[in-house]
Structure 1
Amino acid sequence: MWRSLRVHYKLLACNVVCVAFIFIIICMATSGLPQTPSTGPADGGVQLWGWGATFSVCVLILGFLVGMNIEKPIQRGRVFAEKLASGDFEVRWHEKAGGELGDMATALNRALDIVLDQSSQYRDILNSLPNPLATLDKDRNFTFVNTAAEKQFGMLCGDLLGKQCSNWGAVVCNTEHCALECYLRGIKDVVFHQPGMGTLKAMVVPLNDRAGEHVGYIDMVFDITEEYNNRQRIASLHDTIAESASEAQAVAQRQSQVFETVIAQLATTSGIAREQDEASKQTSGEVEDMNATMTHIAERAADATLNAQASEEEAGRGAAMVEQAIEGVGRLTAQIHALAGNMDKLNEHSTNVSHVITLIEDIADQTNLLALNAAIEAARAGEAGRGFAVVADEVRKLAEKTMQATGEVAQAVKSIQSSAQTSSRSTSQAVELSTESKEFISQFGAILNRILDMARKTAAEIHAIASAAETQSSITDSIRERMKSLSSNAQESAANMEESTQQVTELGELSQQLRRIIDSMRDDKRRAERISLESPTEGFLEHKGRKVRLFVVNISTTGICVQYLDPVRAEQDEQVDIVLEQAPWHLHERAMLVWKDDQYCGLQWIQPLSLSTEQIKKNAAASIPLS
């Protein structure tokens, strides 16, 4: 109201200023008009001021009316914006005036309808979710609650909007186990037992606006009662299997004792069969020894036959080789004779070469003397004989080189003559030796022919011996087979003694006991009762010097299920320490890891707890949360 009046006063002041300005202009314009005789100066001024006042009043009224027509639509738009900002999205700007303000009001109403339609679609999508969901602002006040949350917690969305999230009334609200508190500590979700609702899992994720700015949180709740119960049944079944395995182990030990007794009895009762078997084995052994001897004889005879045949073949090849050697020695002798003739010719040729070399040496000596005489004559001639002295010197040098080369050739020829003479003597000796070798080889060939005849006779005799030995070995093989059959029958008789009626009956009873244990594993009554903790109980798991914080989900005399807050590096079947310092537990027990997933793990106590199931229930009811 007062704001509206302030706007009116501003418009009125503007109008007054405008009227005053116009009135002054009129007065200045009319002050210079001429005066008529019929009107004096006073009458003219009064008339002018009257017209000016009338005009000013009209202008003021017109300005006020125009201001009212503009201010009222703006006032209605301001009210519309204020209601919209307060959360009243059903408000509309009903503008009767036309023009641009009317178009703007229509466009805003249409945009608001579109936004409300999309918001309604999103709200219907969230309400169609089967799990409870709520959104919170940064101060943890409810900004939205879907239909599933209203049904599960018995509160309407309108009753919760703007209130703290603790009004949900969950057992973890206002505690350090609140889902939002756990999220701020880096824990993804929290599992808790809500009375009358079962086992729930709460999860919090951040809520951001379109610019990516953090504006609140989304709190989702999932009913995992069935999953939790299945895990409990699995854990209980594992406890049952562990207990049944212990009982089955005891039965197996008893069965082992029975088997040992049966073996001892069979060892006693099969003595006679063993004696018979030993006797048959001795007989069979003797026969086998005889057979082995005959086999050895046959093998040796066969080997001798083979050796005789080989000797015969080798003797034949030796005789052939002797004949070839005789022929080779004859050819060698002929070649040696030819070589001796060639060596003689070589000796003659080397002698002729020596004569030629002697002649060359004489010529070289004479050339050297001529060169010396030429040098002396050139020296006498003086300057005119200098060129001839050079030629004489070169001739002398050539003669010296010729003498030197001739000396080397003479030395080589002497060496060849010496070698040729030595080779000639060796060749003569080789001719004599080859002649003697030919005679020795002829004699050796005659001896080999006689050996060949004797080897043929020996091979025939050994072949006859081998045939007889093979016949005897065949007979002993038949005897040995019959003895083996007798021994096999004796062993089979001893094996049949394994059936003992009394021990078999006891084994049958043990099998029945095992069957009863297996049947009892299917019975829920044998499973250790898992006690769920209504109040969160905190502790830690210690593995290889590293401590991991945990919350106890349930516990029994044989095992425990926990939710761990830090990664657990222990693997399946590894042993860890479970420590619960919270009153009234004060536990420090050794346990084996049975299963593990992303957040939970099940463990089996190495030794059953000394607490009874009733005592565990009392401790669960009396658990005091840690400060």
Structure 2
Amino acid sequence: MAGFIRNSIGAKTSLLVSLISFIIFSALVSISSYMQRSSMMAELDKAMTTTSELVQLSIEKPMVVGNDAGTRDEFRFLSEKYKDMTIYLTNFKGNITYSTDSHTERKDLDAVVQNETLSGLAARALKVNTHESAMLEYAGGSHFVRVVSIPNASACHHCHGASQPILGQMVVMQDITPTVANIDFQLYENIAISLGGLLTLIAAVVFFIRRSVVRPLLHIANSSEEISKGNLNADLVVHSDDELGILSRNLGHMVDKLKTELGFSKGILDGMTTPALVVDTSCRISFTNPALLKLVGHSGNPADFVGQGVGEFMFNESGRETLSHQVLANRSSIVGHESTFTNRRGEQVTMVVDSSPIYDLDGKLIGAFTICTDMTEVRQQQALVQEQNKMITHAAHAAGQVSEQVSSASEELSAQIQQSSAGADEQRKLTADSAAAMTEMNASVLEVAQNASLAAESASEAQRQAMEGAKVVDAAVHKINTVAEQANMLKQEMGELGRQAQGIGQIITVIEDIADQTNLLALNAAIEAARAGEAGRGFAVVADEVRKLAEKTMSATREVVSFVGSIQDCAKRNVTATDRAVTLVGESTELASHSGQMLHTIVGMVESTADQVRAIATASEQQSAASEQISRSVEEINIISSETAQAMLQSANAVADLARLAQELNGIIEEMRRG
């Protein structure tokens, strides 16, 4: 019973109303009874005072003159007139001298009326002048007594002398039993009526309270219990315009706002494409999303994993400590932690984890929020870039070797061309000597023939040197073509590197879009939480933590973008340098081909010179007299020798340019190595 009263506001209210009503009723009845009795006593005292004064006046006249018979007649008249009244007149000793009951005369008042209250009043009235009244129970009834002292007045001295200040007392007793009974009846009647009214009032008040207060409160309590269990669609509305109706509507509005805020927050969490995880203070999952299930390698719905430990969820080890344990233990955020693990599908996964503690509006720790960024593909792209860099370094090394070979071949070709040029100069000098000796040819044809033979030998040697130079140039052209092929391969590899870096940039762009969207959603959540007031403070904390994690994700993404941009810039510079190397190699090929053509021309010229020298020798043997014709032939030989020397000089310049281009190619390759 006590438990029911303690747990029921209706029982408490009914009991409280009943107790208060009973206390008020008892107080009113007591006050009413007291006031009735006080009023009755005042009226009786007033009436008895008047009666005693009248009695005293009626008996005073015969007593003053000493008329004993007249005094007795007055008492007899009073006894007949007032049946409910008894009057005693005593002397100063308390002995009854006159009475409406003649049988009590000459007896002591205490013996006749045995009552302590009356005895006390009578004793006091004989000592001092007293006019007192009292109510007493006597002879089975209620009596009202008036005791009046009779002082020894001067008019009484002739009979009683002046020795006693109080001659006696008059005691007037009235039987008020019917009056008291009537008053008691009225009192009981009033109590019964008041009790009936009290019960009616209590029933009406309890009915009103239960109907207007308890029933709506019970409805609100039951609905709030449903809401506390998660049923936000419970009906809180009380159809009234009083405070309870306003309270129910306010609670309904609050629940609607909570539904809106919870729906907004749930929408943010459900709409996140980034793998996310929320745990309670026991490090058990209270929220996750499909993105994290996919990353970890789980199948099923996120709701299937609510309540599971983080260690068991992530690593299939229930007792394993995770970053969420550290965040809850240290109450501090962990940002940018990178780890690699094998998921449930056996795949190697690399992720960056950002985790922060979550507090309620009172600063109490309620859990932790974690965002996981999948960096597996980024790390794979980085490894691919490193492999491409190795390939570029290898190609640059091979191109450097080819460049060194081209430079060495160019130097050798330059030396041979210089040697051919020296032979051509020597030939020109010999031809000049032959021209000078033409004036003496008539004198010594044999000397001319010998000089012609020497010229033929020099031409043969020049032919041989020119043919060697042509072979060297052909080899240089072959090597330069090899360099061109390597440079083209390098260009293709650098282009592939640029495309891979561009792919990384596209992935980073997607991550930036996700982070921007998360930041925007968190900002909207914070605005809505601020509008919700106190009801939205919990969601403001979660939204603020989401916004901070999104900003950290954006910062990390910007760093990755910077690194990828550096890779792209380096790849572009390498592609540009490779294009320049290809261009220079092409120019070198053209120059080397031109040098080969010039050398072949030189060979033809040297062959023609040899034939002409041999013709000179034959002519000198056969036509010693044709000096004029020989002179012209020598002049032609001199011209051809000059042209040969000039062609050799051009070949030397071309070879020098080829050597310089080879050095430039080597410098470009070194720059690629450093880049």
TM bucket normalised to smaller: 0.3 to 0.5
